[in-house]
Amino acid sequence: MSKVFVNIGLSLDGYMAPEGMTMGKPEYKNWGAKWGALMSWIINQQYFRENLKLGSGGETGPVNDLVRSTTERIGANIMGKRMFDQGEVAWPEEAPFHTPVYVLTHEKREAWARPGGTTFYFVNEGPERALELARESAGGRDVRIAGGADVIQQYLNLGAVDELEIALAPVLFGGGRRLFENLSEPGPQFRIDSVLDGPAATHLRYARR
């Protein structure tokens, strides 16, 4: 069976997103600069640049290989409505997923197909139904829980997450959306699977015990 995994960037003080993050207003509470610092490790990776059509060149090596292997294992993505709303106004016409994407929402909306193989499906029946649909469409590949924090917490509480991949960046937000809040007891148990040191982030993988 395919695995369910989380793959995100995280600030040193535990935030997935800085306070005030609203697309179109990068100066608001300086969130744009904070987000840029959080994700600086990936911007110059060769595979990332090729995959998003940002131009040739870029860094190669273990971190680039990690970005490639993570991207290639994904058969479907799941995200929340807030993440989708922010991305809808910011993603290029060829959205950066290239898989089916299941959006948890109360809004009823027809599927939205984008160039490059991304189709957004809007799921009103909750996280378990979204995961069922994602598994069906993943074709044996893995399902990524893309975010935001609330959606990841829902799947952690369901006990559905097999792996956590966290790029821990040495930046401090001081506020925003925390990753590990609102978790039920007892929480899922993980073990350290791998650690990769990079110049701008430490890449941690935790596997379910």
> Helix, strand, coil proportions of the chain in percent (round to 5)?
30, 30, 40
Q: CATH class for domain 4-208?
A: alpha beta
Q: What is the pLDDT of residue 26?
A: 66
Q: Name residue 94's amino acid.
A: E
Band of pLDDT at residue 188, cut at 50, 70 and 90 = confident
Q: What is the pLDDT of residue 22?
A: 77
CB 157 within 8 A of CB 121: no
What pLDDT digit, counting tens, does each position of 64-73 carry? Answer: 999 999 999 9
Average pLDDT over residues 107-117: 95
Q: What is the pLDDT of residue 52?
A: 82
What pLDDT digit, counting tens, does each position of 117-147 carry? Answer: 999 999 999 999 999 999 999 999 999 999 9
CB 5 within 8 A of CB 143: yes
Q: Name residue 54's amino acid.
A: L
Does residue 85 register a pLDDT over 80? Answer: yes
Average pLDDT over residues 95-110: 96
Average pLDDT over residues 67-93: 94
